[in-house]
Structure 1
Amino acid sequence: MVSPRKFTIENNGKAITGIFNDEIGVRCTIQDKSCNVKRKNTTIARFLKFRFPIPSSPSTITKMKGVDWYLCLDTGGVLTLKHHSVIDRSDYILAEMKSQSEFCLAPDVKTNLTVSFNNDEPIL
């Protein structure tokens, strides 16, 4: 059985968090690597050095009202944080992302992705 992993994305002093069952090995791939991207887009953060095969089984997560951000694999299998307004049918949604404060992607600021090995902390 695959245990859930906590993923945190930080941008401009704000953090957003999500949990999903890591059946594709995201944690193992990311754990020892630096995960910073800088972009101008305010609705998408693509972590280009992290590509994964899109699972053949459909995602158990669907776009829901009230959820602004999702961690997903885009059509190229790139690990991506997307605002709900740019989620595409071909995106494989991994997790709903939540924040205690209003999260947004600030342009020209580094966006950091981290994986927590200890899931004892509460989800925001």
Structure 2
Amino acid sequence: ASTPELIVGVDFFIESNLQPVAVAEKCLQHTGSRFKLVTLSNRGTQVWPTGSSFTNLVNLYGCRFESISTTAITQADILELYKLLAEDFKICSTELLNMWGDKKAYSLAQGQ
């Protein structure tokens, strides 16, 4: 039998010159009832909710959103979040966060 594959979240890679807390505040306005903002990363290192003040930031953030519940997220859910985030940011790319059975098929940011 094949292992079930579920979408459990999404990484949005966005362009912004804002500081991490300001990026997080804008992202948190759009989480709705399906998503929670888990982390922001910059150059592969977690910068929100915790992170080093010595991280040399660039204008590309990874914003990780995961499902609030244990139910899978649909691509339609992700498109709705995309539309909302696009009101505040240029979205450069997205990456689905999948689970194969009980195994995460994605990596964590350094410090997460």
What's the TM-score, normalizing by structure 2? 0.27
Which structure's relative contact order is higher, taking Cα pairs within 8 Å and 6+ residues apart?
2
Q: Decide which structure has the larger Cα Rg and report it.
A: 2
What's the TM-score, normalizing by structure 1? 0.25
> By percentage of residues, which structure has more helix?
2
